[in-house]
Amino acid sequence: MSLVKIMRVGEKRMLKHMLSRTTNAEENLRLRLFELLEGSGNIDDAVKPLMASTSKSSFSHLKSRLKEDILSVLLVKESSKRIAQANRAAQFECVKKIAQAYVLIFRGAKTQGAEILRSAKALAVKYELTGELLSINHIEREAFYSFSDVETIAAMNADLRDNLNVWSDILKSEELSFYITLPQFKEQLSDSKNGFEGKIIDDLNELYEKSHTSRIGFWYYMAATEFHTTRKNFETVVTLGRDFLELVEKSPAIRSKNNMAGVNQTVGFAQMELRQFAEAIKHFSVSEKLFPAGGFNRLQSLHFLALSEIGTQDVEAALLTVGKALGHPRITAREHLLPQWRFIKASVQFLLADMESCFKTLSQDGYLLKQQDEWNIQFRILEMLVLVELKDEEWLEFKLDATRKFLTRHKNLDTPRVRAAIDLISNLLRKELDFDELSEKNLELLKRCTEEAEGYEWNPSGVEMVRFDFWVEKKLPTQAAE
């Protein structure tokens, strides 16, 4: 009876009141069962007392009736917190009014039923609840056609056809969007002809321009921003994203904190990739406040916010952002989160020139060194940069050798940029950490990295939060750096 867990205090109180107002033996048993379920963390232990005193079939019937009671209360109990999102709450309220009107009309109270239907229709129009509007118009035609003139019936028929067409377009746009945004649908496109996904975006755009319906616009923009983000068309993503943001902020049908947070994050990510860090910070600051405080989406926004703050060299702000993330109530819920955020913290401490704290933070957790990914490589590189700063040549030599061996085993991680970092650190070690003695070859590698030649690019959304090339460049004599 997991339904008991989702009930709110007022709903539980109402159910108990309903079941305690009678001397009916079965209802008393249902009340007893509910109280047992409510007070026990273990459902099997809770129901043992009742199972011992009733037959198996009687107990099954008892559970079924209690389930019906709970569902009834969940539907009828008024609560301002039943559904948090205004558009979802409006949809629930509209469906409830339709049901109430249906009962009234077909039990003879047509005037009262028609009044409730008008209220439901106002909600359906405001929130673009086309499916519900279709039901309302159908009920009106079925209930009142015998009292209506020809013109009124013709208008009803026209409304139904329009509702049906728009509803069909909404369902089609939702289906098309799935092929772009959901992994399980994307797999179906793997063998399709090139350009098929682009055709889907064009079809969605055509549906939106045809109807100007916010719900269709939602599916179009969500698919289009995903499509262009995947293809790294970030200028296009920013343009589309701003229109998308305006839509979710202004349209009651799709306005919600989650939608606004998600679009702000999409726009911010594109601006971060374009290195428009100051603009990205504005959007990530909004999204992290709009996402639920205890949700994983907020951690993602905080991650991008920290990267953007590092991009603007506002390292103090990045440290505050890291503090927010490390204080997140679910930071330990997924194994990789805390180690990754400790690495981000260490990166910020390095940028603040706090090498002792940075090294201490890196030493807290060896999880990232067990991974076969970019986090592992950047962890190793940052650790070596700290050892250079601390002038610990012996430990640096050991770490350098271990990193080379790791890259030999995992050649897919051995990119030109990573190899340049290893070569530069190796050259420094041979020259007793004297930056003045870096070879011409290594200075050329450094130039490729700072200028981001092909293969040597820095990824703004990647794991290299401390740019080793900038760090080396600052250590060089002015003439060599130029």
Q: What is the pLDDT of residues 207-266, one digit of tens each?
A: 999 988 999 999 999 999 999 999 999 999 999 999 999 999 999 999 999 999 999 999
* Tokens 């673009």 sit on residue: 128
Tell how many helices (H) and how many strands (E) occur in the chain: 25, 0
Q: How many Å apart are CA 216 and CA 224, to the nearest integer? A: 12
Identify whether 342 is part of a domain. Answer: no
Identify whether 365 is part of a domain. Answer: yes
CA angle 55, 57, 59 (to 5 degrees): 65
Contact between 458 and 417 under an 8 Å Cβ cutoff? The reply is: yes
Tokens representing residue 234 in the block:
């970030």
Domain end, chosen from 28, 48, 76, is at 76
pLDDT at 478: 66
Model pTM? 0.84
Residues 69 and 126 in one domain: no
Residues 15 and 104 in one domain: no
C-beta pairs of 355-358 under 8 Å, 24+ apart in sequence: 355/386, 355/389, 355/390, 358/382, 358/386
Identify whether 191 is part of a domain. Answer: no
Please, where are the H alpha helices in 212-327?
Answer: 214-230, 234-250, 257-273, 277-290, 296-311, 315-326
Contact between 180 and 223 under an 8 Å Cβ cutoff? The reply is: yes
Identify whether 321 is part of a domain. Answer: no
Identify whether 24 is part of a domain. Answer: yes
9: containing domain: 3-76
Contact between 273 and 460 under an 8 Å Cβ cutoff? The reply is: yes
Residues 386 and 423 in one domain: yes
Amino acid at 87: N
Residues 6+ away with beta carbon under 8 Å from 385: 350, 425, 466, 468, 471
State yes or no: pLDDT of 41 exceeds 60: no
Write out pLDDT tens, residues 362-413. Answer: 999 899 999 999 999 999 999 999 999 999 999 999 999 999 999 999 999 9
Domain end, chosen from 56, 76, 96, is at 76
Contact between 383 and 411 under an 8 Å Cβ cutoff? The reply is: no
Write out pLDDT tens, residues 440-463. Answer: 999 999 999 999 999 999 999 999
The alpha carbons of the chain give a radius of gyration, in whole angstroms, of 31
Residues 18 and 96 in one domain: no
State yes or no: pLDDT of 479 exceeds 60: no
Residues 377 and 472 in one domain: yes
Contact between 85 and 35 under an 8 Å Cβ cutoff? The reply is: no
pLDDT at 394: 95
